[in-house]
Amino acid sequence: MPTLAPSIIASDAGRYAACADEALRAGAEWLHVDVMDGHFVPNITIGPDVVRALRPVADEHDAALDVHLMMEAPEQYVEAFADAGADVLTVHVEACPHLHRVAQDIRAAGCKVGVALNPATPLGHLDGILPFVDLVLVMSVNPGFSGQAFIPESTAKVQRVRRRLNALGSEAYVEVDGGVGPDTALELVQAGAEVLVAGSAVFGGANSTEHNLQALREALTLRV
């Protein structure tokens, strides 16, 4: 089974810690934290203090804090988010002209290194960095807002990323974020995704978080 990483910004903003606890008690393994600056993407979300507040919740359940920096100049904030308790720090190739240096800074800060690609960004932008990463995040919507429709071409992109990592002998995770739910989860895992980020599919709708996570797991058990 892949790792399920609920996106906390899709939950009740007044209850982030409680919503995170509900998701982890229901079987999620990671918490995905989207940090948006209003420049790189057209939305503003949270900062290091929220990551710091979620750290004890993650520790209680032995879960990872997967922090996705959707921001310009993320290198300026690596130390702050690492100090706040991030386990994984993911930056966008589109935002980092000196990506190797940022990757080195993330690892020096004690975090795993993730790189993310927007839907329209060609895979060739990963060529020089793949040997140095622990995670590749394929965005299957244009980043900025929860609840968007899945871009179908993302499945083939996931498959190509996994093949490139395999060719290098890399054990880096392939993560997918955007439009992930019971209707898309299985095809993504079959394509090579190992971490699924789900926001509205976990925290949205009339059903409980536990029910929604169970629906995701049931969709994945159809794998043959």
Active-site entry in 34, 37, 66, 134: 34
Residue among 105, 134, 177, 183 flagged as catalytic: 177
CB 136 within 8 A of CB 175: yes
Q: How many helices (H) and strands (E) does the chain have?
A: 8, 8
Residue 24: which CATH number? 3.20.20.70
**pLDDT, tens digit, 9 for 90 and up, residues 100-112:** 999 999 999 999 9
Phi-psi region of 146 (alpha: psi -120 to 50; beta: other; left: phi over 0): beta
Mark whether 183 is an active-site residue. no
Residue 34, classed as helix, strand or coil, is strand
CA separation for the pair 193, 176 (Å, rounded): 7
Helix (H, G, I), strand (E, B) or coil at 211: helix
d(CA 107, CA 48): 18
Q: Residue 88: which H helix or E strand, with range?
A: strand 88-92
What's the predicted TM-score (pTM) here?
0.94
CB 106 within 8 A of CB 113: yes
Domain hosting 160: range is 3-220
Burial (CB < 10 A; 0-12, 13-18, 19+), residue 183, is exposed
CB atoms within 10 A of CB 109: 16
Q: What is residue 46's predicted lDDT score, i.e. its pLDDT?
A: 93
Gap between the Cα atoms of 169 and 210, Å rounded:
36
Element containing residue 55 per DSSP (H, E): helix 48-60
Distance CA 7, CA 200 (A): 8
User: pLDDT at position 148, please?
Assistant: 75
pLDDT tens for the chain, 224 residues: list them: 899 999 999 999 999 999 999 999 999 999 999 999 999 998 899 999 999 999 999 999 999 999 999 999 999 999 999 999 999 999 999 999 999 999 999 999 999 999 999 999 999 999 999 999 999 999 999 876 666 789 999 999 999 999 999 999 999 999 999 999 999 999 999 999 999 999 999 999 999 999 999 999 999 986 54
**CB 102 within 8 Å of CB 78:** yes
Distance CA 162, CA 185 (A): 16
* Structural domains in the chain (count): 1
Q: Is 177 a catalytic residue?
A: yes
